[in-house]
A and B are shown apart, each in its own frame.
Chain A
């Protein structure tokens, strides 16, 4: 990380969020479909800065995708969204569908998890890019849009952009389709790019290429990037900043080096101990005991308490707040912070 980025992080810790493109505060999402209440998000805080990669790290079911979709307001009436998500001075939580439409794709773009599911199967790839370019008025003519689409397909590393533009999605490999999805996401130079596990559907060799492409593009267009992943390795490689998520809450966040090298929250520690690294061989891994809470079940207090090795009786009474333990590093665990586990 650059010295400037370090300096900015210091400012974050002081609560300064003026230069963040997106400031999420106490974001909650509750699903009410089927007569059952599912509290998928229970208070998310995030700040995303231009040119910087933030990783949202968490197990399956922790609410990572719900965070992305809630920010983009992709849920209908079945989801109740609370808190705030201020993007370029406007709180997205208060906007209606009509007001959200110009922001989606142009201000905030999303690269979904499954590249196959992100493209219309009966439209040519080029036409799908042209459609978005023209929608957001980035180009003046159809011809210009066509040329720009081909340029973008080259930019994301497709070998024959002209042919790619004329192809249908089913004529492409998964990796190629994900490159197309990325081309669509960056086509309007979004201020914020959200990538929801953009490589899980791809094989390992392609994964690395796609991730490199992301980092390259974020720095070249200077947008902020929220990379969602369950992969600690991806977080270590790409992130400037990491937010660790557990059962709909952020339990620890800060600069990648501090959070992943010096974790404070018992969950982050357990998560890192469960992942193989060059220094810790597979045989020495320690699995996290127990299961994350079932969706729809609301525990009083800390959601990790039932699985936590250092839990105390007070942990099941009060929901822990994120508390700053050092500059640019916050943790939601009174036990760990009070007893100086950092």
Chain B
């Protein structure tokens, strides 16, 4: 198990390097000019040249990358062009806020999705199972933005049950209750698609597990249905976790839209703003940190899987 962990940890390094290279190239080939956005339309040609040199943007791409990478290794991600503060600090704060939202949504999606999927698999002919598969289909197919906007208009603006945006009440004391109050709408909006996917995945994984030969063998030993179901679930967990892990990663990136709509001060909102401002240091640090989070989530998922299914411990 220790060897398994060490090997998986070592694997994350080339993955992060690969991600950073792809990101670097992508940013360079997309149109838009950080210098222009910094100086605005009034910038003189001389100022442009000077700033380009100052930012190192006149150097070959490989040199720019090497310099950036060397700085990152020393914990320096550069200064935000738009905000004039350290990019790493900005990105780190935003990441924490995103983790709060994504974590909340992930727990919501897991708990509700697994419950729904299990019910549908174990009682395939029940009315509940049909309602539940209908709901998971709805969760997947309803466009996230329409739901987010509708909930803001009706539940927040009209009824006033929830705040229309933000993470904490600026006037209040804050605290956990306040945070939860702000979390519900963006949390549900982010959780809906992964919830539907997890529910369907759990359902099919459980149906497969319940059709395995050992299930009949377990029944032939006199085990009651609930125990047999538990055995099947135990076997289905690794498959379910694979999907859940992917969904958790998707949540990290996928909350961009929700964060923007609900003005949640997270990574999505930060990267969204930074892209429109061509704020390269922030984009680069943000993408790298997101990739790191994604890789770590997968590592955790794989580790749990290996501890559940002995056949994966290789």
Chain A residues proximal to chain B, CB less than 8 Å: 69, 72, 74, 97, 101-106, 109-110, 112, 114, 116-123, 131-132, 135-136, 168, 170, 181, 184
Contact = CB atoms under 8 A, between A and B. Distances in A.
B222 A105 contact: yes
B242 to A, nearest CB: 15
Given A112-B213, A117-B214, A168-B310, A104 B220 contact: yes
A120 B214 CA distance: 6
A273 B75 CA distance: 84
B220 A110 contact: yes
A121 B213 contact: no
Contacts of A97: 225
A114 B217 CA distance: 10
B223 A112 contact: no
B221 interface: yes
A106 B222 contact: yes
B67 interface: no
A181 B217 CA distance: 9
B235 A104 contact: no
Given A121-B235, A121-B311, A170-B310, A74 B223 contact: no
B200 to A, nearest CB: 23
Contacts of A105: 220-223
Interface in B244-259: none
Given A122-B309, A123-B234, A109 B221 contact: yes
B216 interface: yes
Given A117-B213, A121-B311, A170-B310, A101 B224 contact: yes
Contact of B222 (A102, A112, A168, A181): A102
11 contacts: A102-B222, A105-B221, A110-B220, A112-B217, A112-B220, A116-B213, A120-B231, A131-B227, A135-B222, A135-B227, A168-B311
B213 A118 contact: yes
Given A122-B234, A122-B309, A131 B214 contact: no
A329 to B, nearest CB: 32
Nearest to A184: B221
A69 B223 CA distance: 15
B235 to A, nearest CB: 6
Interface in B112-127: none
Contact of A104 (B212, B213, B214, B221): B221
Contacts of B224: 101
A117 B217 contact: yes
Nearest to B312: A122
Given A120-B231, A121-B235, A123-B234, A136 B222 contact: yes
A168 B207 CA distance: 23
Given A117-B212, A122-B310, 18 more contacts: A72-B220, A97-B225, A101-B223, A104-B221, A105-B222, A109-B220, A109-B221, A120-B218, A121-B214, A132-B223, A135-B221, A135-B222, A135-B223, A136-B222, A168-B310, A170-B310, A170-B311, A184-B221
B59 interface: no
A319 to B, nearest CB: 31
A339 to B, nearest CB: 44
A309 to B, nearest CB: 39
A17 B213 CA distance: 34
Contacts of B231: 120, 123
A90 to B, nearest CB: 15
B230 to A, nearest CB: 10
Interface in B81-104: none
B220 A74 contact: yes
Q: Which of A101, A117, A120 has the most CB of B within 10 A?
A: A120
B28 interface: no
A101 B213 CA distance: 18
Contacts of A74: 216, 219-220
A181 B310 CA distance: 20
B308 interface: yes
Nearest to A77: B125
Contacts of A181: 217
Contacts of B223: 101, 105, 131-132, 135
Contacts of A72: 220
Nearest to B219: A74
Given A123-B234, A170-B311, A118 B214 contact: yes
